[in-house]
Each structure stands twice: as structure tokens, then as C-alpha cells.
């Protein structure tokens, strides 16, 4: 037994009672492997909510409560009205009263909406509850209580006129709300791309029948070749220098595109590139763009503000370390305590030198 650690021993002792709860586990073949889960363990992880509302926790929340929670937890990324395109595609927009009646979003047919918002697509309100509860806010997932999820969801649904402004959403009335989802009739499973049994056998879809049929013609398959699309001019240089994305030997070389690269020879990636990688790794780039605001200001804005101020570096290092709000708006930056002091210094210096990629 000496090879078992203390924690393992504790588990084994605990395991004796756990196993008693459910002796049915087929340990016989693989003895000593796995153990029954406790009820609290299952409860801690099994938070999914299905379209038939199996798994839905009890709770309630009003649109008004939702407005406040949204402001605090969601608006910075998704916009005050769920309309923002900065961090992700808009959550709300593109649905009409008529869609709520028919359950089919018309803009999906006409192509009128500039973008497909979440509410234009999602057929099931359970999906939104499940997802917000498990994954949002993006930087602090699973921090919301069920009542808060109900309230926020009520607010989102109100933005799309699915529920009125004085609505309270709850586990009791969510089924009625489902009947008003704008795209509830907008899905089809009549296709051959479900990898299990077809609908006829209790599964999904047509049982694997492909929807397009080509034949392997070998000779004189067509009269002429018509090129219907080629790389647009604006995209020619958009992916950097292709010469540097190919091998220096072989059958081909990469084409020189974009601004001609410096002939750096075998130089290692520059210090700037390494700092950019650090900023990515430490999560700074989730909230700051090099030249655009995300949750916090763009690095270009920070540079513009502090350029020439001799005490800026020290001030910003302290700010990043401790977090804070008020300089750029009401949204706070959380303390960046997980980043080492010298790394914060490196990052701030890099920002003040223009946050260059190379």
C-alpha cells in the first residue's frame, strides 16, 4: 500500500461507502479501475439543459434585473443591446414580430440582415440558457447563479421583443417562451450527414444519403473551363508574405507578397514578436486590440494618451498589476496578478513602444 498517496487513500476509504451506493458497476473485468460518482459530484458537473428542458434548474428573473446584470457582466463585449460586432457576432437583431408568429426568420431567406445574429438562428431557448450558464461571461464562465441566468436571458429575449419589458422568466413559463422563439421552425434534419441511425430508426436524418452526386468522368468531361472566381486584389497581400510561409527548397517557392520583408537571415523572432506572444498567452489580447478597443482601450490609444510622459511606465505597470477603472470608462480591468512583475514591465514597455508585431 505504500505506493498510494494520502489523497488516494482518502479516496479509497471514501470509495467504500460510494461503492456501496451502487454496486452494479462492472468492476469485474477491469478490477480496481474507476469508482462510482457521488451525487454531489454529478450535480456539480451535470449542468446541461436539453431542448425538452430536462436539466433546467428552478429559478426566475425579470427583464429589469437582467438589464443591470447585462450592464455589469455582458455589455462590455456584446454591447448595451447585444448588438456589438466587436468581440463576436451580434446576439440580437434581424428578427421581426412576424418571425415570432411563424417561427421562421424571414431575413434568412431574403438575405436582408447584414449578419446572422444569435437570435436569428437559435431554434431552442434551452440552448441559450445552457450556454450562458456554462460559458458566459467569457472571462468568468460558470460564475452566474440560475436566477441571474434567467434574468439575463429575459433581457436578451426582451431586446428581440420575444417577451415584454415587464416579463419575469422562470422554469415555469419558459415552455411558453419557446413557442415564441423567432426561428423555432427554422431547422431541418433532412440530410445525410448525421453519423448514426436515421430518423426512421430513432436517430436523425435520412440515414446517410448524400445530397450531391458527381460522377468520375475521365475524358472530355466539359467543353470549356470557366473561372468564376479568383483571389480579389484586396486579398492579395492580406495574409502576409507568402514567400516566408513556404520552404526555401523543394519544387516551388512562395510568392513575395505584402511589404518586402527585411532580409533578416537567421535572426530569431524579434523581441516585439515575443512580447506579442506573451500578451496573447497572458490573456491581454482578449480585452485589448493593438489598434482597436475591445473591452479595454486599444494599445494605440494607450500610447497616444501617455506618449512623452516620463512617469507613464511606472504608473501603467502599477495599474496593470492592481487592475482598476475610471481612466477609460466604467468597465474595470481585473488585477493581472497571474502575470509576473517583469513580464508586466515588458508588456507595458512594449505597449509604449507601439505594440509592434515584429
Partner 1 sequence: MANSELRLGRIRPAPENFLSDEQIQSVKEGRRDFLRKAFLGASAAMAVPAMARAAGPGDPAILNLPAWTTSLGLPVAANPYGMPSKYERGLVRRESPGLTRVGGSSVAFTPLQGLFGIITPSGLHFERHHQGWHDVDPSQHRLMINGMVKTNAVFTMDDLMRLPSVSRIHFIECGANTGMEWGNVAVPTVQYSHGMLSCSEFTGVPLKAILDMCGADYKKGRFILAEGADGSSMTRTIPMEMVESGEVLVAYGMNGEMLRPENGYPLRLVVPGVQGVSWVKWLRRIEVGDKPWGAKDEAVHYIDLMPDGLHRQYSSVQECKSVITTPSGGQILLDKGFYNISGMAWSGRGKVTRVDVSVDGGINWRPARLETPVLSKAVTRFNVDWVWDGKPAILQSRAVDETGYVQPSYGQLRAVRGTKSIYHNNAIQSWKVVESGEVSNVQVL
- Site for ligand HEC, rule CB under 6 A: 73-74, 76-78, 87-89, 91, 118, 128, 131-132, 136-139, 144, 152, 282-284, 286-288, 295-297, 302, 316, 319-320, 324-329, 331-334, 336, 339, 347-348, 351
Site for partner 1 in 12-41 (CB under 8 A): 22, 24-27, 29-30, 33-37, 41
| Residue closest to 354 by CA, chosen among 316, 304, 312, 310 | 304
Instruction: Find the shortest distance in angstroms from Cβ 235 to ligand HEC.
Output: 24
State the binding partner of 261 from ligand HEC, partner 1, none, CB within 5 to 8 A by kind.
partner 1
Q: Under the criterion CB under 8 A, does residue 2 sit at the interface with partner 1?
A: no
Report whether 284 belongs to an annotated binding site.
yes
Q: What is the dihedral of CA 278, 281, 287, 289, to 10 degrees?
A: 50
DSSP helix/strand/coil, 310: coil
Instruction: Output the CA angle 342-344-349, nearest 5 degrees.
Output: 95
> What distance lies between CA 275 and its chain's CA centroid?
24
Site for partner 1 in 225-284 (CB under 8 A): 225-232, 235-236, 238-257, 260-261, 263, 266, 280, 283
Q: Under the criterion CB under 8 A, does residue 305 sit at the interface with partner 1?
A: no
Distance (Å, whole) CA 170 – CA 154: 9
Do residues 120 and 93 make contact, with C-beta atoms less than 8 angstroms apart? yes
Binding-site string for partner 1 from residue 133 to residue 172, where x marks contact by CB under 8 A and - marks none: -xx--x--xx------------------------------
Q: Under the criterion CB under 8 A, does residue 202 sit at the interface with partner 1?
A: yes
**R_g of the chain, CA atoms, integer Å:** 28
E strand or H helix at 118: helix 118-121
State the binding partner of 328 from partner 1, ligand HEC, none, CB within 5 to 8 A by kind.
ligand HEC
Q: Which residues pair with 168 in a beta bridge?
A: 62
State the binding partner of 145 from ligand HEC, partner 1, none, CB within 5 to 8 A by kind.
none
Q: Which residues pair with 61 in a beta bridge?
A: 169
Binding residues for heme c: 284, 288, 333
Amino acid at each position: 500500500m505504500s505506493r498510494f498517496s494520502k489523497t488516494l487513500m482518502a479516496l479509497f476509504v471514501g470509495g467504500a461507502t460510494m461503492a456501496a451506493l451502487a454496486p452494479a458497476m462492472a468492476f469485474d473485468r477491469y478490477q480496481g479501475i474507476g469508482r462510482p460518482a457521488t451525487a454531489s459530484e454529478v450535480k456539480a458537473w451535470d449542468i446541461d439543459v436539453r431542448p425538452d428542458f430536462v436539466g433546467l434548474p428552478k429559478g426566475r428573473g425579470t427583464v429589469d434585473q437582467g438589464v443591470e446584470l447585462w450592464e455589469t457582466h455582458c455589455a462590455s463585449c456584446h454591447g448595451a443591446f447585444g448588438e456589438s460586432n466587436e468581440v463576436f457576432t451580434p446576439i440580437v437583431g434581424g428578427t421581426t414580430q412576424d418571425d415570432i408568429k411563424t417561427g421562421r426568420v424571414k431575413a434568412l431567406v431574403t438575405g436582408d440582415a447584414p449578419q446572422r445574429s444569435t437570435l436569428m438562428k437559435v431554434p431552442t431557448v434551452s440552448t441559450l440558457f445552457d450556454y450562458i450558464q456554462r460559458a458566459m461571461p467569457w472571462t468568468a464562465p460558470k460564475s452566474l447563479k440560475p436566477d441571474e441566468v434567467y434574468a439575463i436571458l429575459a433581457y436578451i429575449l426582451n431586446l428581440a421583443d420575444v417577451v415584454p419589458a415587464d416579463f419575469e422568466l422562470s422554469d415555469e413559463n419558459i415552455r411558453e417562451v419557446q413557442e415564441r422563439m423567432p426561428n423555432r421552425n427554422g431547422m431541418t434534419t433532412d440530410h445525410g450527414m448525421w453519423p448514426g441511425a436515421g430518423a426512421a430508426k430513432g436517430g436523425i436524418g435520412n440515414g446517410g444519403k448524400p445530397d450531391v452526386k458527381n460522377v468520375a468522368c475521365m475524358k472530355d468531361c466539359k467543353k470549356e473551363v470557366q473561372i468564376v472566381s479568383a483571389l480579389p486584389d484586396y486579398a492579395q497581400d492580406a495574409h502576409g508574405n507568402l514567400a516566408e510561409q513556404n520552404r526555401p527548397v523543394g519544387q516551388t517557392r512562395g510568392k513575395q507578397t505584402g511589404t518586402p520583408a527585411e532580409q533578416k537571415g537567421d535572426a530569431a523572432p524579434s523581441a516585439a514578436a515575443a512580447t506579442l506572444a506573451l500578451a496573447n498567452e497572458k490573456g491581454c489580447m482578449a480585452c485589448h486590440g493593438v489598434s482597436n478597443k475591445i473591452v479595454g482601450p486599444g494599445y494605440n490609444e494607450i500610447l497616444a494618451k501617455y506618449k512623452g510622459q516620463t512617469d507613464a511606465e511606472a504608473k501603467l505597470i502599477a495599474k496593470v498589476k492592481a487592475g482598476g477603472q475610471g481612466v477609460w470608462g466604467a468597465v474595470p480591468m481585473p488585477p493581472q496578478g497571474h502575470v509576473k512583475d517583469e513580464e508586466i514591465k515588458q508588456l507595458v514597455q512594449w505597449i509604449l513602444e507601439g505594440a509592434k508585431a515584429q
